[in-house]
Structure 1
């Protein structure tokens, strides 16, 4: 498949805009550890947190976060990443070393059709729990494919892209289908007997929300969980810029910076999800039980599995 065709295809996946364009840029993002600086703050990512998995830039461990009662989330138990559909053989081998008992795929069937199924080690299967993208998949195919600067500006400019993202995040709460998928994913994590990895396309929006749900449910403070969420922007920065540069060079967009709000994670996006959960269910706890259908036993198993 030609690189541009692949770029446009992958570009349309959800709001992920994730495509393995330039190997050098992808390697730089994977190897970036220590202090990461990006638009909305800084966060320290250790070598232990960011996984060295070829074919990924946003694969990481959720261990090492302190809970309200002074305990810590376990390393090597729960991982988050972008899609695993583009892993080279070395990446599959690296995933195999994680000893996964389960992979949870939050992508929609249409995304999987275009992007491909996960490339996983023998004996590891992906469990689908698709979370809807509120039509952004097809919107982005239309916007980028148009090559029309005026249409692109009218669709994404002047805060429209940001509002589409906030709508997406509110939809994680307001959609019964999305709540069922997220609840089932949490149940799978709670009931697993070994390490679990979950992902969407870029590992930032649906994956970020699921990570926020799980971390807060086991007692990690909301502010700490938010920092884990924001880390995606720093890890994805090089590959996201490479995509924008390619779209400009090939004439698909005169102003590819219109895409930045769709490529980044931002505090106000996460707040849209959190605020909607409280608005609809009274509290985060109410969202867990009444919104996601998680009972006390499931939440206790989740904490026992993740917190040391």
Structure 2
């Protein structure tokens, strides 16, 4: 795998070494404009979780590859998050039901791919973070490990976050959006397992079949 410092939030789901022994790898990443395909893992299929308008503004460097798929996580018929979902963990919990169709579509796209897969959105933290957390927990990662994998985006996005803060007209909202600590995702997984029992049970609730879950 070849990377450059420009693609700073690229890594394997679950962190280094977690997927050792699996028959394929699933990566997670941000999306940056004007990068050559060589900065990405070679031979990967891409599941791009961004909205259609985001993709139009910043086409993915691998968009012309046969394995590229745009699979928007957000349901365009509803708002991104409910008005009472202020903190990130509240937003992510809200997504589990509000955007369950997009989550299911994204996971099916991964299940349908035989080889290595790259899951991405804009920053590679929020939408990608939720999908990555579901996968890692399904594969047996501890809740702490899921939280640590999520929080690793703080370093990967440090320069991007600094640039956003420099031009922000709403520092409080920016601080909420940039929060990237383990407790955010461990709270989400805790809620999911309290409500549905397990990630596998949640995946069945959103419509995945047993064969699709096994394929993941």
**Residue 267 in structure 1 maps to residue 156 in structure 2:** no
The answer for unaligned runs of 5 or more in structure 2 is: none
Paired position in structure 2 for 1:104: 47
**Residue 169 in structure 1 maps to residue 92 in structure 2:** yes
Structure-1-length-normalised TM-score: 0.59
Paired position in structure 1 for 2:62: 120
| Alignment of structure 1 residues 1-308 onto 2, 5 Å | 52-53=3-4, 55-62=6-13, 64-65=17-18, 72=20, 74=22, 77-84=25-32, 86-88=33-35, 91-95=36-40, 98-100=42-44, 102-113=45-56, 115-120=57-62, 122-132=64-74, 135=79, 163-175=86-98, 178-245=99-166, 247=167, 253=169, 256=171, 259-291=174-206, 293-302=207-216
Distance 2:8 2:39 in 1: 13
Aligned alpha-carbon RMSD (Å) = 3.1
Deviation of 1:203 (Å): 0.2
The answer for unaligned runs of 5 or more in structure 1 is: 1-47, 67-71, 138-159, 303-308
Rg bigger for which structure? 1
Distance 2:144 2:122 in 1: 25
1:170-206: CA deviations, max 9, x gaps?
A: 222121xx21222222222223121110111100011
Structure-2-length-normalised TM-score: 0.81
Contact 1:105–1:198 (Cα < 8 Å) also in 2: yes
Structure 1 residues 267 and 226: CA distance shift in structure 2, 3 A? closer
Greater fraction helix: 1
Q: Please list every run of at least 4 consecutive aligned residues from structure 1 whose deviation after the TM superposition is greater than 6 angstroms.
A: none
Paired position in structure 2 for 1:306: none
Contact 2:146–2:185 (Cα < 8 Å) also in 1: no
Contact 1:169–1:272 (Cα < 8 Å) also in 2: no
